[in-house]
Amino acid sequence: MEFQRQRQNWWMDEVDGHRLFIIELGAGTAVPTVRRFSEVVSVVQKSPLIRINVREPEVRPGNIGLAMEALAGL
């Protein structure tokens, strides 16, 4: 787990200052870890979040939520 966190921190340092688009596929609210991570990265990196989820596509204003299956959304 610590190795994964280190890799994540390394990646975050590497992409800092670059224009990112975050595409989140199928992450629901039952286990919100991925959703929270996407939202935090979106705010910190000032990057748009595109959330594709059949039942729970809600996003903060300024982002895109698509109520459809992942493959169709892509």
42, with CB counted inside 10 A (0-12, 13-18, 19+), is buried
DSSP letter at 74? -
pTM, to two decimals: 0.87
* Model pLDDT for residues 52-61, shown as the tens digit of each residue: 999 999 999 9
pLDDT-above-90 percentage for the chain: 84
pLDDT of the residue at 1 = 83
Q: Give the mean model confidence (pLDDT) for residues 46-68.
A: 97
- % pLDDT > 70, the chain: 100
Q: If DSSP codes are grouped into helix, strand and coil, which group holds residue 52?
A: strand
DSSP run (H or E) holding 23 = strand 22-25
